[in-house]
Amino acid sequence: MLLEYINRVLGKAASSSRIHARERLRLVLVHDRAKMSPYFMNQLKEDLNNVIARYMVIDFDKFEIVLDQSDKVVELKTSVPIKKIRRDYMDRIKRSS
């Protein structure tokens, strides 16, 4: 408790808030520069989920899509927690060959 108070007095908590606010602003700017609306991002996430779901069972609640900008390139980064691989899909592919 004393350490929390000292951190607040010295401005470390504000610094952390400032970092988070700066990161949120950076993400908003990247989305704006890429001309992608929240609807577009949600639709992209849903479409990617549908394709990945053919091959794997994933945790959709933890599935993340992030746009990041480095230099003059916008990058699409995903984090897809995989629960299991769908073996039945692989079996269907083998049978159809």
Q: What is the pLDDT of residues 83-97, one digit of tens each?
A: 998 888 777 777 777
Please give the radius of gyration of the chain, using alpha carbons only, rounded to the nearest integer: 20
Q: How far apart are CA 56 and CA 87, in angstroms?
A: 9
Alpha helices per DSSP H over the chain:
2-10, 12-33, 38-53, 87-96
Residue 51 is predicted with a pLDDT of: 92
Q: Supply φ then ψ for residue 65, to 5 degrees.
A: -125, 130
- Give this prediction's pTM: 0.54
Residue 83 is predicted with a pLDDT of: 94
Residue 34 is predicted with a pLDDT of: 61
Positions of the chain with pLDDT lower than 50, given as ranges: 1
Residue 80's Cβ-count burial label (10 Å; 0-12, 13-18, 19+) is: middle
For residues 63 and 80, the answer to whether their CB atoms sit within 8 Å is: yes
Cβ neighbours for 77, distance < 8 A, ≥ 6 positions apart: 65, 66, 67, 68
